[in-house]
Amino acid sequence: ELLDAGVNRSPSAYLNNPASERSKYKYDVDKEMTLLKFVDDEWGPVGSFNWFATHATSMG
């Protein structure tokens, strides 16, 4: 989980979703990041890719 990495651009709109839908999620935005790490047996970490969804409005 990446906390404080993005914001919901319209929390009031999110609250218009049914409570049954909102209760499926801990936050009003996706806080999950996926990391694919490449490690060489001899040299250790050699690279990585990561994915984290964010909207431009989260950047200011």
pLDDT digits (tens, 9 = 90+) for 32-52: 999 999 999 999 999 999 998
Annotated binding site for Zn(2+): 55
Whole-number pLDDT of residue 21: 95
Cα torsion 35, 41, 45, 51 to 10°: value is: -10
Calpha distance 31→20 (Å, rounded): 20
Q: Token pair for residue 31?
A: 């806080």
- Between residues 43 and 57, which one has the greater pLDDT? 43
pLDDT digits (tens, 9 = 90+) for 1-32: 888 887 788 889 999 999 999 999 999 988 89
Q: Model pTM? A: 0.59
- Between residues 60 and 7, which one has the greater pLDDT? 7
Annotated binding site: 55
